Amino acid sequence: MHDILMSIILGIVEGITEFLPISSTAHLLVAEKLLGLGDNWEAFTVVIQLGAILAVLVIYFQKFWRVLVTLPSSPQSRNFATGVIVAFLPAAVVGVLLAKHINAVLLNPDIALPVIAISWMAGGLLILLFERIAPVPRFVDSDALPLKKAFQIGCCQIIAMIPGISRSGATILGGELLGVERKAATEFTFYLAVPTMLGATVYELYKKGAALSSAQGLDIAVGFVVSFIVAFIVIRAFLTIVGKYGLKPFGYYRIAASLALMAYLAFH
């Protein structure tokens, strides 16, 4: 029963934070620390990301299906697919080259939490700053971004390998600074999440899959379903919040979370 409860909690954390600009990796690491979970939960947290990926696929199923079906005949579909692939490549290449170093150093429990505290604070301040200085958008269609812009947004994902630097935050803010309208950058971030998260999950499962036991089957299923349901709700709500308020609320949240984590580290 204890493990089921932990699975639900981690599923909720993953579902809420995966697509918000507040870093799901950071929240999962902090949650694991606060809940006193051991290394045997690392592979579990990788698997439940698939639930969040499925939420994106379900919400945008008609778009993805239409692109797939019309790929041979539609220049627009080919441009869309090529843009997502081009944006995916920078983080994929750097991730493969640096994954071992990142896992050994930045995800070390003794190092990760201080890094997260600093990253949360820096990211929050940058959100508040960049929301003020972002140029007037020149690209408003997330389905038809120039390949150069797609590649540049993809490069922004690379810095999200540092715990606490949100993937969605990096790509949305990067897109805004590159002249992409905020909602368009947010939608493109969701599209890009599918190959990025799927690739990262498959790679991590290849490395850590042996740590999963058959006894964890029910825990994984619960975490997966909870992650999917929560992410499905959050994605829809996030688009509304971004359209109305921008990213500022998440900037203030990151600063508050950073201060709370710093206080925790100071007294433990």
Phi and psi at 139, nearest 5°, equal -120, 115
What is the per-residue DSSP string for 163-193?
TTS-HHHHHHHHHHHTTB-HHHHHHHHHHHH
3-state class percentages of the chain: helix first, strand second, coil last, to nearest 5: 85, 0, 15
User: What is the predicted pLDDT for the residue at 210?
Assistant: 67
User: What is the predicted pLDDT for the residue at 209?
Assistant: 66
User: What is the predicted pLDDT for the residue at 41?
Assistant: 73
User: What is the predicted pLDDT for the residue at 218?
Assistant: 81
User: What is the predicted pLDDT for the residue at 215?
Assistant: 54
137, 142, 148, 154 alpha-carbon torsion, rounded to 10°: 100
User: What is the predicted pLDDT for the residue at 107?
Assistant: 65
In the predicted model, residues of the chain with pLDDT beneath 70 are 1, 39-40, 103, 105-109, 208-215
User: What is the predicted pLDDT for the residue at 100?
Assistant: 73
Listed in sequence order, the residues at least 6 apart from 179 whose beta carbon sits closer than 8 Å to its beta carbon are 135, 136, 137, 138, 139, 149
State the residue range of the domain holding 92. 2-267
Q: What is the pLDDT of residues 83-110, one digit of tens each?
A: 999 999 999 999 888 877 776 766 666 7
Domain total in the chain: 1
Q: What is the pLDDT of residues 29-60, one digit of tens each?
A: 899 888 888 766 777 787 888 899 999 999 99
CA distance 171 to 154: 7
User: What is the predicted pLDDT for the residue at 61?
Assistant: 95
CA distance 234 to 230: 6
Report the predicted TM-score, pTM, of the whole model to 2 decimal places: 0.91
